[in-house]
Amino acid sequence: MTSFRPPSRNLGIVMKRVVKYLLIASVFAGVAVSDSTSFTIHVAGDSTVQTYKDSAYPQTGWGQVIGYFFDGARVKVNNAALGGRSSRTFIEEGRLDGIMKAAQKGDYLFVQFGHNDRDYSKPERYVEPSQFSGYIQKFVDEGKKKGVNVILVSPMNLNGSRNVFSTGSNNYDARGMMQKIATNSKIPFVDLNMKSYNTYNTTYKNMPDYVTRYLYKKLEKGEYPNYPDGVNDGTTHFQEMGSMGHAQMICEELEDNLKNNTNLSAEAKAALTTLVSAIKPRYTIKVQTNLSNYNGLITQTQQFPAGSPMTLRVTPNGQSFEKWVDDDCKELSTKQIYYGFKTPARNITYTAMFKGGAACQPTSHGEEGSSGNNPTSSSSDGPQSSASVDTSLCFTGLADTLWRSPIDMSKPEVGDGTTDANHEGFTGQGFFNLENSAYSTATYNVTSDQSASNARMMVRYAFDGTANRDMKITVDYGTYDVAFPPTGGWDKWDTVYIDDVWVDALDFKVKLASTTNDGGPNVDMIAFDIKGVYRTGCKPAKVKGDTATTRIVPVRSVTVQPTANKTYNALGRTVPGAKSHSKLPKGRYFEH
């Protein structure tokens, strides 16, 4: 009789190897395995990705809403994307380093660049095509060092044409270069460029107005409270539904990579399995009318997860709209644009009811399930801020319509110089006297409640002498070389202007930097010709004659030209204007 012997250590090792093999096999077979791992998705990108303030709504980036598509109990989102950045400037400004410091092993990094990289009219952010791959590779390499799983996302389609990233005017194949890096690195490639191109040019092929009006940020007068006069940004930035659609496309691409991308490494496949397992179920949101011959615009059917934001919108073409109802015939809203509600945890049908159309008939449907945990999004570089400022610097007067956003510059957050009031004619609490050095600077924390590509900025200053005291002025992402001629005396104030200034709807810095050994001039104030730009911690200025309830006024499409001896009201005082001393060349804005 053979006696019982316990399993040998070697047998235990063999069994462990078998289990490991089976787990790996299940991953490569594309089997969705149960996973409770918690992690953070970090996002790097530009203004089509970034998070915007409520005051910019409905402008939204996909990084702002991607969290709705994931289980909030397991997934956090750190959206570090910021407008105006290219792959190069994002790295040079230390933003990639910031992500890596915050990231933990097992986290994910979504990277989308290309729009600003190809903008050759802006040398401060332009990336030569021969260098683009190197910067994108840097994201991949830094992620690998930290154990972060990098996923490359090609830039979404703009203007209804994919050729801007392949055979366009400057032959910038960002999509192809990113795809090659992903292939060589054996990591996922989310082809948002082709996915969005096919959607806009196939699904919505005969609906160009729908894409521009309902997905891009082209808003008509009176449609949204934040833009009472409307805004025409129908080729670059997106409304909430446009970015929600991009987030949906990204999830579909991730799922497709898991099923069909045979090039992924074992580690990348396993990490992608964990990521996809955290994607929430999506429900069909069908939108229709009660008319058989409706020929206007209407929100198209979507597939969104429970708890995500949803907008119902209709633009009739001669028909008389009455109300929105759900599939229980419950009235939801009598407004043509109904937003601010959450997607239910079931398939649902919404109907736009028109006068003369069929009566509403309830539709049977399943019970609503749990909406799950809503996502939380955090960002150390996001647009929200709780910074405080000396309230005496806050503008409390009535701004003139020519310069809607006056800002007192007497006390910077950081500066080389002194706050003085020993010369007459200043408008606020004094003026800032920069040190007599080619290295003196003054930095101010500023907030904008809107995005603008063609804002105009003025600087009020004074100094005596015979030579210029030119400065470099940085506003948000852009740096401008500005000439400051002598004003003829320390009590004689003059103004210079900067045209086509880009500002994002977020907190940013305005920095003055001297370029001569005499330092900069005495700086009294700056002002923008758009409303809603102010020192961070203050409130936006009230504008003379403005009766709108909102504090946002969209950018005018025509730049106000300076006129000699033109007067304007700044901080409640009438100050002589001057001819422009700084006229910058106008550049084409591709993406910011």
Q: Which two tokens stand for residue 522?
A: 């005495």
d(CA 562, CA 567): 10
pLDDT over 50 (residue 202): yes
The reply to whether 364 and 408 lie within a common domain is no
The stretch 26-50 carries a mean pLDDT of 74
59-78: string of b/e by CB count within 10 Å (b at 16+)? bbbbbbbbbbbbbbeebbbb
DSSP assignment of 423-484, as one string? STT--SS-EEEE-SSTT-EEEEEEEESS-EEEEEEEEEEEE-SSS---EEEEETTEEEEE--
Which DSSP helix (H) or strand (E) runs through 511? strand 507-514
174 lies in a domain? yes
> Which distant-in-sequence residues (6+ apart) come within 8 Å of 265 by Cβ?
186, 187
Q: Which of 103, 109, 119 is nearest to 165 (CA)?
A: 119
- Domain of 495 in residue numbering reads as 391-576
The reply to whether 106 and 183 lie within a common domain is yes
For 164-188, write each residue's pLDDT tens digit: 454 444 578 999 999 999 999 999 9
Choosing from 371, 405, 439, the residue where a domain stops is: 371
218 lies in a domain? yes
Under 8 Å between Cβ of 60 and 239? yes
The reply to whether 71 and 209 lie within a common domain is yes
User: Tokens 């235990």 — which residue?
Assistant: 12
The reply to whether 96 and 136 lie within a common domain is yes
12 lies in a domain? no
The CATH number that applies at residue 323 is: 2.60.40
The reply to whether 193 and 54 lie within a common domain is yes
* Strand locations in 258-298 (E): 282-289, 297-298
381 lies in a domain? no
Choosing from 261, 280, 299, the residue where a domain stops is: 280
The reply to whether 330 and 204 lie within a common domain is no
Stretch among 337-346, 433-442, 548-557 having the lowest mean pLDDT = 548-557
pTM: 0.72
The reply to whether 184 and 291 lie within a common domain is no
For 135-159, write each residue's pLDDT tens digit: 999 999 999 999 999 999 999 987 5
Q: Work out how many domains the chain is built from and give that number.
A: 3
What average pLDDT does the chain have?
83
The reply to whether 419 and 562 lie within a common domain is yes
251 lies in a domain? yes
Q: Which two tokens stand for residue 474?
A: 């940085």
127 lies in a domain? yes
199 lies in a domain? yes
Question: In the prediction, which pLDDT does 549 show?
Answer: 37
Share of the chain above pLDDT 70, in %: 81
The CATH number that applies at residue 141 is: 3.40.50.1110
The reply to whether 73 and 129 lie within a common domain is yes
pLDDT over 50 (residue 431): yes
The reply to whether 343 and 399 lie within a common domain is no
Question: In the prediction, which pLDDT does 223 show?
Answer: 93
Cβ atoms within 10 A of the Cβ of 483, count? 13
pLDDT over 70 (residue 298): yes
* 542-543/398-399 β-pairing: parallel
Choosing from 229, 257, 280, the residue where a domain stops is: 280
The reply to whether 294 and 272 lie within a common domain is no
The CATH number that applies at residue 561 is: 2.60.120.260
72 lies in a domain? yes
The reply to whether 367 and 459 lie within a common domain is no
Edge-to-edge strand ranges of the sheet holding 39-44: 189-190, 149-153, 108-111, 39-44, 75-79, 377-378
Confidence of residue 528 (pLDDT cuts 50, 70, 90): very high
Stretch among 172-181, 204-213, 313-322, 459-468 having the lowest mean pLDDT = 204-213
